[in-house]
Amino acid sequence: MKKVISFPNFGNYHIPLKVFLSKITNYKVITAPKNTKKTLDIGSKYSPDYVCLPFKYTLGNYIESLDLGANILIQAGGGCRYGFYGEVQEVILKDLGYDFKFINLMENGSFSLMKFYRSAKEVNPKLKFIKFMYYVLVTLLSMMFMDNLDKFIRKNLKYEIHKGSILKIKDRFLSFLPNNFSVIKIIRHYLRNKRDIKLCLDKSIDTSNTLKIGLLGELFSLIEHSSSYNIEEYLMSKNIEVRRYTDMTYLIVKKKFNERKILNDSKKFSKFKLGADSSDNICHAIELAKEGFDGIIHMKPFSCSPEINTVPILQKVSEEYDIPVLFLTFDSQYANEAIKTRIEAFIDMLIMRKERLKDEEKVLSRS
Amino acid sequence: MKVGIPRGLHFHKYKILWTAFLDYLEVDYIVSTKTNKQILNRGKKYSTDETCIPCKIYLGHIDYLKDKCDYILVPRFLGEDKLKLECIKFNSIYDVVSNTFPNIKLLEYNIDYTKRKKEKDEFIKLGSMLGYKAKDSLQAYYYAKSEEEKYTKNMFKKQELKLKIINKKKVLILSHPYNIFDNMIGKPIIDILNRYNVEVIYSTYYNSNKDNSKKYSETLYWLSSKDIINALDYYKNRVDGIIILNAFPCGNDALVNVLITNKVDIPIVNIVVDEVNSETGLITRLESFIDIIEKRSELLEESY
């Protein structure tokens, strides 16, 4: 039987991951179809009732790619409940009568690279360790470059001269990423695209009136935009500067080094580490408030316990630092317009607030 | 000085340890009343809409205690091992309480495997916060530990006696201690079962030193869920039916249930307790469940 590998959707990271998996295994790799309402419907049909939303999306992804002919599935979630997803999903899919091999990269509650190597070796006995590590390095590099480029775009989109030009360059960057899958090529590819983006910017544009909004919350709804109604794209299309901390680079690399700083910064509001990304979110909320951001949008899927615990503390941060926070919860119901109305109202409120603050400043400076 | 102990979450697991520790040190303490509607409503007022009911009840108890004592005991649990973690709610309950009630003083101890400190050390710290020397608190801790052991042994013996009764149906309740022993969550169900002359077995008390949860799940890392699975493994051949009791919306239990229900071949019912609960609905479901059990045992006897 021909072997076909598949894995769930997670932002744009399927692009480097697909190349990576096909390089180390020599099998065909297919990405799951893009998340749609159908994915969610299938996923929630077969999941337990009140499990968190990412479970439903990933289960839907698996079923859709199994229907497309995949027979090796990969799960690599870790932390909070993600680490336990794999086993339950395997049981559910086996009960549905699918025939497949499930590779769970979690070992003893955390991601294990050696286990990954061992299971890759099982699939492809010719694989050498050095080659494997090289491709891991390239994948990590390309993920970091993707994140860096995204960060740069989010920060500088307000200086864009012709609307839509930067996003076109980003699309080009992503679509040619698979062709540049080596250390030197990927660096060159990144630098070239970044230079192109810089050429599209005009730093002299007056941006004193653009709003600045920070996005905080649970990682899946922040990275996989389809699960959070594409809020980030919507804000960016409204010419708002968006700051988002959570991305793959942050989760894999930065978070481990930041631990002590985060505990220190959030000490005023929390004595202990709160679990998952909660402490990080509080620390980042304080940072956003200090940097003069206009508002924060906090997103979480329904029944996400670490973020539910964050809510009372964030409310206090909002009170103390005088920064408005909008709390959004996403569930398996599809309510695009309702969410949009709430965000529009939030943006209008922020604009009015900004004008009021400006007027007050003027009055103060006159007197 | 008076210490308040809220009757919620881990109280039901550690009640003997805490009260015996304070008794030995002769500290005055007060345990909040059993959960009632008023306490639930108070908790609802202070908590986020989406938290689980046990947490809402816990905040209600804190609100009840806040002007009745000087300090409130709110420990924080991460887990004693990487593979024996507590639910993520327990990681942050201390900070949630301290942020929702800024004006009260809290007593804490912290079970955290990353800090490399044992329960003993944390109780010495707790004792020093109350103004006692390390020696006294250590003695109190060992006394409390032995009392706790005695209590659980006693409860386990009682349970074994219950299992030996022949002409009564036995039902195992699978849940966390803070669900089973709560007055609003588990008590109504136990009352109904007793009314129908069914013997209730709690999953909290079982006797096995071996961790059998690997048979059911390889990657499970929650201590409380492991306890449930071990109890299931211990009792499953000696009871007539199983009730899985969940509080809404517990995601951990939702995941674990999938693994349990597949591997057991006796009648099993999943009851989810919400904050709006009607007794009539509960009675209907439990009644039909008991009917199923009785019918099944009749059929089994006939087939002999």
pLDDT at B146: 93
Cα B201 to Cα B160: distance, rounded to the nearest angstrom: 9
Angle between the N-to-C axes of helices B53-65 and B88-100, in degrees from 0 to 180, rounded to the nearest 10: 40
What sign results for the dihedral spanned by CA atoms B36, B19, B96, B67?
A: positive
CB count within 10 Å of CB A162 equals: 9
Selected for mutation to probe chain B from A105, A272, A300, A316 (highest B CB count within 10 Å) is A272
Interchain proximity B221–A311, CB inside 8 Å: no
Interchain proximity A269–B95, CB inside 8 Å: yes
Beta strand A325-330 with B241-247 is unpaired
Identity of the residue in B50, B112, B220 whose CB atom sits nearest the CB atom of A329 = B50
What confidence tier does A108 reach under pLDDT thresholds 50, 70, 90?
low
pLDDT at A333 over 80: no
Q: Which residues of A touch B (CB under 8 A)?
A: 48-52, 55, 80-81, 83-88, 91-92, 95, 104, 106, 108-110, 269-276, 278, 302-306, 308-309, 311-313, 316, 329
Selected for mutation to probe chain A from B88, B98, B100, B222 (highest A CB count within 10 Å) is B88
Interchain proximity B94–A272, CB inside 8 Å: yes
Chain A contacts of B220, Cβ < 8 Å? 84, 87
Interchain proximity A272–B89, CB inside 8 Å: no
Interchain proximity B83–A85, CB inside 8 Å: no
Please identify which residue in the block is written with the tokens 């249930």.
B257
What 3 state SS string does chain B have?
A: CEEEECCCCCHHHHHHHHHHHHHHCCCEEEECCCCCHHHHHHHHHHCCCCCCHHHHHHHHHHHHHCCCCCEEECCEEEECCCCCECCHHHHHHHHHHHHHCCCCEEECCEEEHHHCCCHHHHHHHHHHHCCCCHHHHHHHHHHHHHHHHHHHHHHHHHHHHHHHCCCCEEEEEECCHHHHCCCCCCHHHHHHHHHCCEEEEECCCCCCCCCCHHHCCCCCCEHHHHHHHHHHHHHCCCCCEEEEEEECCCHHHHHHHHHHHHCCCCCEEEEEECCCCCHHHHHHHHHHHHHHHHHHHHHHHHHC
Closest CA to A278 of A250, A241, A308: A308
Cα B168 to Cα A322: distance, rounded to the nearest angstrom: 63
Question: ipTM score here?
Answer: 0.85
What sign results for the dihedral spanned by CA atoms B92, A250, A321, A298?
A: negative
Task: Give buried/exposed letters for B27-42 (b at 16+ CB in 10 A, else e).
Answer: bebebbeebeeebbeb
Cα B197 to Cα B201: distance, rounded to the nearest angstrom: 13
Identity of the residue in B95, B96, B254 whose CB atom sits nearest the CB atom of A50 = B254
Interchain proximity B219–A51, CB inside 8 Å: no
Cα B86 to Cα B222: distance, rounded to the nearest angstrom: 6
Interchain proximity A50–B248, CB inside 8 Å: yes
A20, A233, B139, B261 from A15: Cα distances, Å: 9, 19, 61, 38
* Dihedrals phi, psi of B161, to nearest 5 degrees: -60, -40
Residue of B nearest to A328 (CA): B50
What 3 state SS string does chain A have?
A: CCCEEEECCECECHHHHHHHHHHHHCCEEEECCCCCHHHHHHHHHHCCCCCCHHHHHHHHHHHHHHHCCCCEEEECCCCCCHHHHHHHHHHHHHHCCCCCEEEECEECCEECHHHHHHHHHHHCCCCCHHHHHHHHHHHHHHHHHHHHHHHHHHHHHHHECCCCHHHHHHHHHHHCCHHHCCHHHHHHHHHHHHHHHHHCECCCCCCCCCCEEEEEECHHHHHCHHHHCCHHHHHHHCCCEEEECCCHHHHHHHHHHHHHHHHHHHHHCCCCCCCCCHHHHHHHHHHHHHCCCCEEEEEEECCCHHHHHHHHHHHHHHHHHCCCEEEEEECCCCCHHHHHHHHHHHHHHHHHHHHHHHHHHHHHHHC
What confidence tier does A200 reach under pLDDT thresholds 50, 70, 90?
confident
Interchain proximity A80–B88, CB inside 8 Å: yes
pLDDT at B117: 79
Selected for mutation to probe chain A from B91, B98, B263 (highest A CB count within 10 Å) is B91
| B residues 17-76 lying closer than 8 A (beta carbon) to A | 47-48, 50-52, 76
Tokens standing for residue B243? 């009730």
A52, A79, A250, B257 from A304: Cα distances, Å: 6, 12, 20, 18
Chain A contact present for B265, CB below 8 A: no
Interchain proximity B95–A305, CB inside 8 Å: no
Least confident of A47-61, A70-84, A123-137, B232-246: A70-84
Per-10-residue mean pLDDT for chain B, 304 residues long?
A: 89 91 90 90 88 90 90 87 83 88 88 83 88 90 92 91 87 91 89 91 84 81 88 88 89 86 87 83 91 90 84
Cα A177 to Cα A16: distance, rounded to the nearest angstrom: 7
Cα A320 to Cα A266: distance, rounded to the nearest angstrom: 13
A183, B31, B129, B260 from B4: Cα distances, Å: 61, 6, 14, 37
Chain B contacts of A272, Cβ < 8 Å? 76, 91-92, 94-95, 110, 112
CB count within 10 Å of CB A114 equals: 9
Chain A contacts of B258, Cβ < 8 Å? 48, 88, 91-92
**Which own/partner contact pairs does A225-228 have at CB distance under 8 Å and 24+ positions apart?**
A225/A11, A226/A9, A226/A34, A226/A35, A226/A36, A227/A35, A227/A53, A227/A54, A227/A57, A227/A301, A227/A330, A228/A299, A228/A328, A228/A330
Interchain proximity A305–B88, CB inside 8 Å: yes
**Reading across the β-sheet that carries A212-217, which strands appear in turn?**
A241-244, A212-217, A295-301, A325-330
pLDDT at A324: 93
Cα A297 to Cα A215: distance, rounded to the nearest angstrom: 5
A14, A238, A263, A294, A303 from A282: Cα distances, Å: 29, 26, 10, 16, 19
**Which own/partner contact pairs does A266-269 have at CB distance under 8 Å and 24+ positions apart?**
A269/A313, A269/A316, A269/A317, A269/B95, A269/B99
Please identify which residue in the block is written with the tokens 């027979």.
A71
Interchain proximity B251–A270, CB inside 8 Å: no
Chain A contact present for B252, CB below 8 A: yes
What confidence tier does A109 reach under pLDDT thresholds 50, 70, 90?
low
Chain A contacts of B251, Cβ < 8 Å? 50-52, 81, 303-305
Closest CA to A208 of A322, A361, A365, A367: A361
Residue of B nearest to A300 (CA): B50
Q: How far is B34 from chain A (nearest CA, A)?
A: 25
Residue of A nearest to B218 (CA): A87
pLDDT at B6: 92
Cα B92 to Cα A279: distance, rounded to the nearest angstrom: 10
**Reading across the β-sheet that carries A4-7, which strands appear in turn?**
A28-31, A4-7, A72-75, A101-104
Size of interface A-B (CB pairs under 8 A): 118
- At A212-230, the pLDDT tens digits run 999 998 888 888 888 888 8
Interchain proximity B99–A313, CB inside 8 Å: yes
Interchain proximity B258–A302, CB inside 8 Å: no
Interchain proximity A274–B87, CB inside 8 Å: no
| A154 contacts A200 by C-beta, under 8 angstroms | no
pLDDT at A110: 66
pTM: 0.89
Interchain proximity B258–A48, CB inside 8 Å: yes
Chain A contact present for B215, CB below 8 A: no
